Amino acid sequence: MPPTEPISNDPANPPAASSSVPKFLIIGAGSRGNAYARAVTQATTGIIHAVAEVDPFKRQEFGRSYIWGAQGSAAEGQEFGDWNEWLAWEKSRRKKEAKGEKQPAGVDGVFICTLDETHVEILLAIAPLNLHILCEKPLATSLQDCLAIFRALNPPGIPRTKIFSIGHVLRYSPHNQLLRTLLLHNRVIGEIVSLEHTEPVGWYHFSHSYVRGNWRRETPNGDGSLLTKCSHDIDFILWLLSSPPPDSPPNHPHHAPHTIFSTGSLTQFKRTRKPPAAGNATNCLSCPAEPDCIYSAPKIYKDRFLSQGKTGWPVKIVCPDIEDTLKNQGMAAAESLLLKTLAEDYDKASTPDALIASRPWFGRCVYESDNNVCEDQTVTITWRDDPLPPPPNSVEAAAEDMRGTDTDMPTRLRSRGAKTASLHLIAPTQAQCERRGRVYGTHGELSYDSKTISYYEFGSGKTSVVEVPEVPPEETEAHGGGDYGLTRAFVRAVCAVEGEGWGVERAQREIVGCGLDEVVRGHAAVFAAEETRREGKVIEWGQWLRGKERGVGVSV
């Protein structure tokens, strides 16, 4: 297996099973916690052993689904009201175990699936426990916090013994792994010159998550939808254009960007775009313009989903117990519950801003919300020629270096030539999160979306349509198999370390495909892009990152 490529995520050819059966705690039983729990249960040898979740209904539903079963109940060490309760229990358990007292089993690893702003507190608190960790993206909501996490998980002079993964699921879908192989290993279009990548968020998805939902406001640092929606798109671009190609030796250096620049705007979801017919209404359920508004909350949540018997995302986000209500009390009760939630509103003049910001308002008029994140943003990243050091001083080596394996590129400049990438985050789209893009190379041009790949060769004039591996239906809905691919890789790496004698560095490189340093650099690129957007400047990447690292005494 190439040393920088994650383990194969082909469901028809899963990784070899390990004798180790790792047990995991899920912190946060929302949509992402459930997604990872499903993947662990259905596609790995791992076990979901415990859950920490504030909401009692979510916690019990999660436990019945993945831990103690429909008729069972939680044993000691399996159910916690929040992560602090679990942390206190685990510390006490370890102390008693160290004294020789018989204790319930702990866990081997933790999935952190809580709200973005809570990640840093949790990670810093559990770092001393030395557990395997998979954290949902983003790692944190500021670069300072990302660097603090890096320092906590990499204490000076202490080698890492546990696996760390981040929820950058785009790396792990069979489609994208094939795409990377075609571009960097098979080199079907030669050297990459430019890449255009689009994340079409989806018109009602954006209104749900980024106008009415939890991700509608920028962080105190001014970082918004680019961080919460596209941190893994930036990672995807860097994985293709910065990370070492699949056939590189273990210590092959990354091709670092040269500059980063971004622009973005909030275009339609603001008060100046409110239809005149809506008047002073602030909630869809009392708005005279609601019947004609495409962003009507009843139309989206009730008509489009609940009335069709669909109780998953996004309806379940609005009412976590909607499925239970529909099943036990019928459609009328479910609709009543939904509409009651959608009717919740606030008066900006009398409601404290902290209370407004603390929760979603899914029935709020999209033109009267408190959102301020970009719905149309572009990021441009450039690279310079950065050849590897010259080969050993011999005529044969120099000749081989100049010749390379193609006629157009010396070996030591392979995949390290000048190039450009652009990312476009756009809200009003028909497609929902079905990424698409084009890659321009020295020998041809390649196009991709979330399901297909094709490329045109300049020399032959031939267009090839690539057969993309089929993904089971339950995996297709999870980022094209990316959720399952990431989970397989993480659990497989844990098994390799715990049961097969692998070192962590090898497992991170050969199975996970990246380490915490690469995770932090990818997040840093997002924060750099947001800084350029706010300040209207171009950032020189190396100088900028070194300055940030010096500020906290860390080098990634």
Q: What is the CATH number of domain 172-268+372-472?
A: 3.30.360.10
Q: What are the DSSP calls for 6-71, one per residue?
A: PPP--TTSPPPP-S---EEEEE--SHHHHHHHHHHHHHSS-EEEEEE-SSHHHHHHHHHHHTS-SS
Predicted pLDDT of residue 145: 95
Q: Could you give the CA distance from residue 519 to residue 382 in angstroms, rounded to a whole number? A: 19
Handedness of CA 48, 52, 53, 57 (dihedral sign): positive
Q: Could you give the CA distance from residue 364 to residue 141 in angstroms, rounded to a whole number? A: 25
Euclidean distance between the first and the last CA atom of the chain, given in angstroms as a whole number: 26
β-pair type (164-166, 132-135): parallel
Print pLDDT tens along the chain (556 aa).
333 345 444 444 444 444 479 999 999 999 899 999 999 999 999 999 999 999 999 999 999 999 999 888 999 999 999 999 999 999 999 999 999 999 998 999 999 999 999 999 999 999 999 999 999 999 999 999 999 999 999 988 888 999 999 999 999 999 999 999 999 999 999 999 999 999 999 999 999 999 999 999 998 776 789 999 999 999 999 999 999 988 788 788 999 999 999 999 999 999 999 999 999 999 999 999 999 999 999 999 999 999 999 999 999 999 999 999 999 999 999 999 999 999 999 999 999 999 999 999 999 999 999 999 999 999 999 999 998 887 666 554 555 555 554 545 577 888 899 999 999 999 999 999 999 999 999 999 999 998 999 999 999 999 999 999 888 887 877 778 899 999 999 999 999 999 999 999 999 999 999 999 999 999 999 999 999 999 999 999 999 999 998 877 777 8
Predicted pLDDT of residue 223: 78
Domain with CATH 3.30.360.10 in the chain: 172-268+372-472
Amino acid identity, position 475: E
Q: Specify the length of the chain in residues.
A: 556
> Contact 274/288 with Cβ under 8 angstroms?
no
Q: What angle do CA 330, 333, 336 make, to 5 degrees?
A: 145
Amino acid identity, position 498: E
Domain with CATH 3.40.50.720 in the chain: 23-170+482-515
The H or E element spanning position 316 is helix 315-318
pTM above 0.85, yes or no: yes
Q: Which of helix, strand or coil describes residue 379?
A: strand
Predicted pLDDT of residue 88: 98
β-pair type (436-441, 259-265): unpaired
Q: Could you give the CA distance from residue 479 to residue 435 in angstroms, rounded to a whole number? A: 10
Q: What is the DSSP letter of 273?
A: G
Predicted pLDDT of residue 276: 96
Q: Could you give the CA distance from residue 50 to residue 68 in angstroms, rounded to a whole number? A: 9
Handedness of CA 200, 201, 203, 204 (dihedral sign): positive
Q: Could you give the CA distance from residue 31 to residue 216 in angstroms, rounded to a whole number? A: 18
In the numeric block, the tokens 């993964």 are attached to 165
CA 441 from centroid of its chain's CA atoms:
28
Q: Could you give the CA distance from residue 40 to residue 111 in angstroms, rounded to a whole number? A: 11
> Contact 1/7 with Cβ under 8 angstroms?
yes
Q: Could you give the CA distance from residue 188 to residue 357 in angstroms, rounded to a whole number? A: 49
Predicted pLDDT of residue 190: 95
CA 248 from centroid of its chain's CA atoms:
25
Predicted pLDDT of residue 239: 97
β-pair type (192-200, 463-466): unpaired
Q: Which residues contact 287 (CB under 8 A, 6 or more apart)?
A: 278, 279, 281, 293, 296, 365
Q: Edge-to-edge, what's the strand order for the sheet holding 259-265? A: 463-466, 453-457, 444-448, 436-441, 192-200, 419-426, 376-383, 259-265, 539-540
Predicted pLDDT of residue 391: 65
> Contact 179/453 with Cβ under 8 angstroms?
yes
Backbone angles phi, psi at 202, to 5 degrees: 105, 135
Output b/e per residue, 461-495; b: 16+ Cβ within 10 A.
eeeeeeebbebeeebeebbbbbbbbbbbbbbbbbb
> Contact 62/327 with Cβ under 8 angstroms?
no
> Contact 450/436 with Cβ under 8 angstroms?
yes
List the structure tokens of 553.
């005494």
Closest CA to 284 of 371, 369, 365: 365
Domain 23-170+482-515 has CATH 3.40.50.2300: no
> Contact 275/289 with Cβ under 8 angstroms?
yes
